Amino acid sequence: MLRSLLTRLTQGHRTIGYPRQAPPALSDRYQGRPYADTSRCPNGCQACVQACPVNALHTNNGQLEVDLGACLFCTDCQTACPEKILEFTPEFRMASRDRKGLVVPLAEKGAITPEAFSREIRRLLGRSLKIRVVSAGGCGACEADVNVLSTIGWDWGRFGIQVVASPRHADVLLLTGPVTNNMELAVQKTYAAMAEPKLVVAVGSCAIAGGPFAGHQSVRGGAEQVLKVDLYIPGCPPHPLSILEGLLQSLNKIKH
Amino acid sequence: MNPWQDFTNAESLSQEHVPLLRPDDFFASVDKLLTSTRAVAYFARPLGDSQELTAVFADDAANRLLTARTLVTETQIPQLSDRHPQLHRYERELAEYGLLSAPNLPRLRRPPLVGDSEEFHPVPGEDVHEVAVGPVHAGVIEPGHFRFQCRGETVYRLEIALGYQHRGLEAAWEGGPNARTRHYAETLAGDTTIAHTSAYARVLEALSGTRVPLRAEALRALGLELERLANHVGDLGALASDTGYLPTASFCGRIRGDFLNLTALVCGNRFGRGWVIPGGVAFDLDKPRAAELLKRLDVLTKETTDAVNLLWSTSSVLARMEHIGTLTREQALTLGLVGPAARACGLVRDVRFDQPVGMYRFQQIPVSTYDTGDVFSRTYVRWLEIQKSLTFVHDLVKNLPSGALSAPVGALKPNHLAVALEEAWRGEAAHAAWTSSDGKLARYKVIDPSFHNWTALEWALKGQEISDFPLCNKSFNLSYCGHDL
């Protein structure tokens, strides 16, 4: 007993101060929102577009755009760039209420902040948001970084956010994975078992656009093929900070 | 004389060097060899009108692999899993591909269940009742269905139905390598990224005759051990949580994240994405970064030791773990268990020791075993391994060899077989590939350590109370996506 108390003392208080304080330092090699000064692109160069394993890059009216929902943040485009002007910035704040909001010019930087949920939703759920997580394919990394948010380092219970075991208790269906054919029924049943009002949050490139498995016959290719999605949080997997930031912004809980 | 070809881990063989045996001889020698070796891979691919069945077995005592193949034209092959249960899942997989038809072999990756009990094997008797769990579980975990046959609280039989995570990965590899194939290796089991990507890279390197620079090998080993550390520490926390001991659960949950952040320090991603590439590694560990890593590692070593040692001095934790979910050494051998689950039954079985590749050929790591085979044993082996990995990483980073980070990977040799094994944190991750006549990947086979070990969980539950299931499950902590592919 004494020993566990002593260890408790030496382990200390470890919950991050974010969002009141600055976020914890990320690795200087962390791959956040991609950026390139596309005015320096050589004429007709498509090296990054061709290198992308999931076709997340494309040209729209002569402007390079990246679909952050499909992006694996894998740096294959960065490696392929002959001018070395493509970089992955430390920007972790990426989330959107609609799918189109994740398709952004490569030449723009900064946070992508989701619109807040409606006043009614925030009134009902703003101080107590119960989440049912369903893993529907994918690799388990998104699940791991969602799980992390319940640990003492992140403690999203501070904001009234909690993972619950039953869909009957849940306000949010948080989906990870590309929704495999074999999980489609379970996803639909889980959603049907939830009481109104209910929200769907797609976490990770698989749940948003199929991720590396996009186009495979065994997967549906994302949450929106099965359900209407209310919030998209990109990443492969999204950093726990991205998930927390996306949810808190949607609940209007971050004052800048 | 044994006609099988012997070779080593991460070596390739041309088709003519993989002996083609008559089916009768092939199955007879499989039956004979499995008394002294274990199955690493046993898979088929279509070849003309027939199916070619390739077997790769490990002779761990001799540090060698053995292989042979046969051509099967009928739809029926002898079912050897009756005599060698370690082939059970391989044969079910073959049945799924339509090669081996046997009515008593259920498919490995089943479709969703709609409460249909007929697919399972019920236990007869008036007092027996069924408990169905999943595919969606209570926590933040992957999907799978567990069917318990119980009498009172006692579990008579547990059957595990998987396949909900099936993403069609092996088929997607065919025709590669291409821009996506490395990402398949990285995401086939997201908590085992370094091990699987290393195995994938070694397959390509063996098939192309690429020599990986020593510095790259050292950095791969660093990644693999950091992956092991993060997951083992996380598992100890989760096991503490399931025994109701919250101090270690809380501490380890946080410390696991700090180990993930060490991986991110090197490659930017907490799960090691992008770290390993065919030919070597993509990120260097420069001097300041190495110093930072060692500094953080020292702090984490102390914090982990303090947090974990609480477990061994808390009698309520030990009482909950001892004599629960026990497997014998014989059962472990019979099932062909791998990883900490095997070593917790006293088996000295570790790819880093038995079939070493890369850095492990130069810097050895002792095999950690314990012999009680219960939840405690599987927990304790993880702690032993954590300590060995910490020392290994420390020595490795202090004495990093110099040299290049990668070598160019050329074209793949046509009509070759390559096999690569890595000791992932759950155990042996095996990748095997056949190339076509134009040097493309014709068949790509992945065997995640969980493939061997899921059956062990079913066996461990026999005669246990159903309330022991979560703890037993956690003590194996198997991968759903790695199994389902």
The predicted pLDDT at position B113 comes to 58
Q: Do B264 and A29 touch (CB under 8 A)?
A: yes
- Neighbouring residues of B204: CB distance < 8 A, sequence distance ≥ 6: B177, B210, B278, B409, B412, B418
A153 touches chain B (CB under 8 A): yes
Give the H/E segment covering residue B416. strand B416-424
Question: Which among B167, B180, B268 has the least Cβ separation from residue A29?
Answer: B268
Q: Do B180 and A3 touch (CB under 8 A)?
A: no
Alpha carbon of B483: minimum distance to chain A alpha carbons (Å)? 11
Sheet holding A161-163, edge to edge: A161-163, A129-135, A172-176, A199-203, A231-233
Measured CA to CA, the distance from residue B38 to residue A144 in angstroms comes to 32
Nearest-angstrom CA–CA distance, A186 and B136: 7
Residue B348: name the closest of B33, B86, B61 by CA: B61
- Identify the segments of chain B with pLDDT beneath 70: 1, 101-104, 106-107, 109-118
Residue B282 neighbours by CB distance under 10 Å = 19
Nearest CA in chain B to A206: B187
Name the E strands within A205-256. Answer: 231-233
What burial class does residue B405 get, using C-beta atoms within 10 Å of its C-beta: 0-12 exposed, 13-18 middle, 19+ buried?
Answer: middle
Query: What is the three-class DSSP state of B324?
Result: coil
Chain mean position to CA B427 = 5
Task: Give B406's strand partners.
Answer: B280
- Distances in Å between the Cα of B175 and the Cα atoms of A76, B55, B181, B433 are 20, 22, 10, 11
Query: A91: which 2 tokens?
Result: 């920007």
Distance CA B352, CA B354 (A): 6
CB-count exposure of residue A116 (10 Å: 0-12, 13-18, 19+): middle
d(CA B427, CA B304): 22
Beta carbons of A139 and B190 less than 8 Å apart:
yes
The widest CA-to-CA distance across chain A, in whole angstroms, is 70
Q: Give the separation between CA B272 and CA A236, rounded to whole angstroms.
A: 11
Report cis status (omega within 30 of 0) of the bond before B340.
no
CB neighbours of residue B79 within 10 Å: 19
Q: What is the pLDDT of residue B188?
A: 96
Looking up tokens 């590396």 gives A212
Instruction: Look at residue B156 and give its three-state secondary structure.
Output: strand
CB B112 within 8 A of CB B164: yes
The residues near B320 (Cβ < 8 Å, ≥ 6 apart) are B243, B244, B375, B471
Q: Please tell me the distance from the alpha carbon of residue B166 to that of residue B92, in angstroms, as a whole number.
A: 15
**CB contact A139 to B (< 8 Å):** yes
- Full-model pTM: 0.96
Low-confidence ranges of chain A (pLDDT < 50): none
Question: Please, which residues have CB within 8 angstroms of residue B174's CB and are 6 or more apart in sequence?
Answer: B440, B441, B442, B443, B444
**B202-425 under CATH 1.10.645.10, yes or no:** yes
Q: CATH says B5-96 is which class?
A: alpha beta
Preferred mutation among A151, A184, A216 to probe B, highest tally of B CBs within 10 A: A151
| E-assigned strand segments in B109-251 | 128-133, 145-151, 154-161
Task: List the one residue out of B451, B274, B450, B420 whose CA is nearest residue B357.
Answer: B420
C-alpha neighbours within 13 Å on the C-beta side of residue B29: 22
Which residue blocks in B431-468 are alpha helix, DSSP H?
A: 449-460
Expressed in angstroms, the distance from the first to the final Cα of chain A is: 44
Q: Structure tokens of A219? A: 């997967």
Residue identified by tokens 């799980």 is: A147
The residue behind tokens 């991603």 is: B269
Please name the residue that has the structure tokens 């069917």.
B147
Among B141, B143, B267, beta carbon nearest to A186: B143
Is the Cβ–Cβ distance between B183 and A53 less than 8 Å?
yes
ω into B3 cis (within 30 of 0): no
Q: For residue B381, what pLDDT is reported?
A: 98
Q: Does residue B374 come out as left (phi exceeding 0), alpha (psi in the -120 to 50 range) or beta? A: beta
CB of B322 closer than 8 Å to CB of B372: yes
Which residues in chain A touch residue B176, judged by CB atoms under 8 angstroms apart?
A: none
Give the pLDDT score at B305: 96
Q: How many CB pairs under 8 A join A and B?
A: 173
User: Which residue carries 């070849």 as its tokens?
Assistant: B47
User: A147 contacts in B (CB within 8 Å)?
Assistant: 139-140
Within 8 A of B170 by CB-CB distance, chain A residues are none
Nearest by CB to residue B191, choosing from A140, A152, A190, is: A140
d(CA B253, CA B258): 9
Please give the Cα distance from A183 to A185 (Å, whole number).
6
User: Could you give phi then psi for residue A104, rounded to 5 degrees?
Assistant: -130, 155
Q: Are B213 and B421 in contact (CB under 8 A)?
A: no
The H or E element spanning position B195 is helix B193-208
CA distance B387 to chain A (A): 19
Chain B interface disruption, residue of A5, A27, A162, most B CBs within 10 A = A27
Domains of chain A: 34-92 (3.30.70.20), 119-250 (3.40.50.12280)
Least CB-CB distance to B141: which of A72, A143, A152?
A143
Give the model's pLDDT for residue B256: 95
Q: Between β-strands B128-133 and B5-7, what pairing exists: parallel, antiparallel or unpaired? A: unpaired
A170 vs B contacts (CB less than 8 Å): none
**What 3-state class would DSSP assign to B442?**
strand
Domain ranges of chain B: 5-96, 202-425
CA-nearest of A71, A74, A110 to A90 is A110
Q: How far apart are the first and last CA of chain B?
A: 37
ipTM: 0.95
Q: Tell whether A178 is within 8 A of chain B (Cβ).
A: yes
Q: Which of B164, B270, B274 sits opposite A182 (nearest CB)?
A: B164
